[in-house]
A and B are shown apart, each in its own frame.
Chain A
Amino acid sequence: MAGPLLEIEDLKVDFRTDEGTVHAVDGVSLSLEAGEVLSIVGESGCGKSVTAMTILGLTRGPNARISGSIRYQGQELTTASNDELETVRGNRIAMVFQDPMSSFNPVHRIGDQIVEAILAHHDIEKEAAHRQAVEALRSVGIPDPETRARHYPFEFSGGMRQRAMIAMALALEPAILIADEPTTALDVTIQAQILELLQDLNQERGLSVVLITHDLGVVAEIAERVMVMYAGQIVEQGTLEEIFYDPQHPYTWGLMGSLTRLDQERPERLPQIGGQPPSLLGLPPGCRFRPRCPHAFDRCAELPGLEHRLAKEPGHLDRCWLEPSEKKEKREVEGRIGLEARKVSV
């Protein structure tokens, strides 16, 4: 296929609130190739979910201002009418949410809800839609799908509900699945099942996946490319290996350092990122990570662009003024990548 499947350019999403304007997403660009797994990592409020929802036009509203461009196979989505969006939503790009309990209607049977989704897009017999729904449930590994389709959401466990959610998203055979924290509400053993399922879908059906998560472990498991977001902006992006083995932005170091890892010696003390993410209402001038960054210097008063700073890694971009050679030294904390703890007032 020529060109990327999905292309976002300089996306900005602002929300007007009583307290002022929230700059939820500030200049995000990305491209997703067919069959690729792209992961967006960041903490609450960094704009990762708003980016995903904006792709599907779910953030439109009187208080939202959206600028920039989102193109699906060349078709512009930011200015598309609701009818035009309908044909893309579900059909081409589907989304699963974090909480499988609240994303289903509790008073309708699971099967009927999937049938409804299919009938909204395809002009086929109800019977046929029902068969498709059962097939979709079977394809995500739900045992005895004929019976399970007649059950209500509360009769499903958390993991089963998330599978059903994915089944519903896949029933229309979309090209892209956006998964917003799909395993966060699940136990580890169930999380492993869902990740395996997503991986199979990607490899067998060539499904492109945008995985939004805060868990770097999950990212390492299935992503091919990674974008790290902080306070509405991408602060670093690169391939999985580049991000994990040669991270360039101090925020990425901090995220990695503060993980409690089972594959490494237990550190005496967890390296922590001091302070808190800035309020999106009043962003600090210059680099947005500066108030929490122990390596900040004069130049950080000016906002660094998302640029390519490493000769050997053409796809690896970051927003940090430090010299790549300095970074190698600065990111080592007690033998691992981390952010040196600094007293920052809370």
Chain B
Amino acid sequence: MARGELLLEVSHLVKHFPIKSGILFDREVARVRAVDDVSFTLHEGETLGLVGESGCGKSTLCRTAIQLLEPTSGSVKYRGRELVGLSRRELRPLRREIQMIFQDPYSSLNPRKRVGQIIGDPLQLHGLASGNHLRREVQQLMDRVGLQPEHYNRYPHEFSGGQRQRIGIARALALRPKLIIADEPVSALDVSIQAQIINLLEDLQDEFNLSYIFVAHDLGVVRHVSDRIAVMYLGKIVERSPAVELYEQPIHPYSVALLSAVPIPDPKANAARRPIVLEGDVPSPVDPPPGCRFHTRCPWATEVCSEDEPPLAAYESGQAAACHHPRNVDAGMIAATEVAPDSPESASDLLPEPEQAAAAAR
């Protein structure tokens, strides 16, 4: 896909949630490091997939990037304009251009409002349509996302899960946004309905030149929709990659493990492979492990991994991975790496060593 103009530039974004306790005065006793120095870019018409396990900070990253949560530090530029520090009033016109679709079509629609109102409210709030014109607009939107316009006066509970997700999509589309953040938009839906919604989102992208940030834990779905993918683990991006490369040659061991854990719907292929089953659980983001955050579960971790936080190293393939022992790369590729310009500030500049890594990869 041809890349459009730079739309969103997130640099060194940090979001910590303080944990407070105390009788008279709240004292900060710890902080949840939900998003810890994350950078990425998004171009017009592009889809960035964001994958990772629950609690890795994907949703917080999205919400912080579009200023639904106030960042602890870092910068977010939307079409060149800094968003961090803007007041609510200043943000308001930008809200039209950035919309969200949520995971749960059951709890993200107001059960007391009629569908027409749910979809029409954003138009009315922004003073874009009213009266008959509003109704026409809404019915066009309903038709576009595959809902029957006659159902204008129905309530959300009268629709199935897939149809409700269509209502959520129509609502997000109402203001003709440029960027849509879809936070697990299909994970609550049945497979046959998932495919319908994914196809709809793709059609809409072509029609309106939308950019998506597509958050999902389902790696198959993410591969299908994304141009580029960022893999998150415990608040950090561990690998950033064009979609095809990530699935063909994942560099970070976490990406490797994640891909290998996905069951393949083919009994023979399944029996033939030896998946890497990671031990244990994701550590707590309140007290993340020192050095590389993945070292406690990584099958290839060595001493250096627990001491030194690896920088995000840029590879020739267009991938970037934060790992001392990268997989699926040869010595030549490792020798040609350099520290990515937006590597986290807390990371060292210790790049992986070609000989050692090549030996380990064998």
Residues of A within 8 A of B (CB): 43-44, 157-160, 187-193, 195-196, 214-221, 240-241, 244, 254-263, 266, 269-274, 276-277, 345-346
Contacts and interface: CB of A to CB of B under 8 A. Distances in A.
Contacts of B267: 220, 240-241, 244
Interface string B143-176: 0001110000000000011110010000000000
Contacts of A217: 262-265
Contacts of A160: 281
- Which 6 A-B pairs have CB atoms at the shortest separation, nearest pair first? A260-B220, A217-B263, A258-B195, A272-B195, A187-B53, A43-B190
Nearest to B194: A258
B196 interface: yes
Looking at A190, A191, A260, which has the most chain B CB atoms within 10 Å of its CB? A260
Contact of B266 (A191, A244, A276): A244
Contact of B223 (A192, A193, A255, A262): A262
20 contacts: A43-B191, A43-B193, A188-B219, A192-B263, A192-B277, A195-B263, A217-B265, A220-B263, A221-B270, A244-B265, A259-B191, A260-B198, A262-B220, A262-B259, A263-B269, A266-B223, A270-B199, A272-B195, A277-B190, A346-B166
Interface SS of chain B: helix, strand, loop or mixed?
helix
Contacts of A240: 267
Given A217-B262, A261-B265, A346-B163, 16 more contacts: A157-B281, A160-B281, A187-B54, A187-B217, A190-B53, A191-B261, A192-B275, A214-B191, A215-B263, A220-B267, A254-B192, A258-B191, A259-B191, A260-B220, A277-B190, A346-B148
Contacts, number: 125
Given A189-B53, A262-B262, A220 B270 contact: yes
A195 B270 CA distance: 13
B345 interface: no
A260 B218 contact: yes
A116 to B, nearest CB: 26
A218 B263 contact: yes
A346 B146 contact: yes
A219 B258 CA distance: 19
A256 B190 CA distance: 12
A191 B247 CA distance: 20
B340 interface: no
Interface string B11-46: 000000000000000000000000000000000000
B97 interface: no
B261 A188 contact: yes
Interface of B: 53-54, 146-148, 160-163, 166, 190-196, 198-199, 202, 217-221, 223-224, 247, 257-259, 261-267, 269-270, 275, 277-279, 281-282
A158 B54 contact: yes
A269 B270 contact: no
B215 to A, nearest CB: 14
Contacts of B193: 43, 276
A273 B277 contact: no
A242 to B, nearest CB: 10
Contacts of A216: 191, 265
Contacts of A215: 191, 263
Contacts of A195: 263
Given A187-B53, A214-B190, A271 B263 contact: no
Contacts of B53: 187-190
A261 B218 CA distance: 10
A255 B191 contact: yes
A271 B265 contact: no
A196 B277 contact: yes
A203 to B, nearest CB: 14
B195 A221 contact: no
Nearest to B187: A184
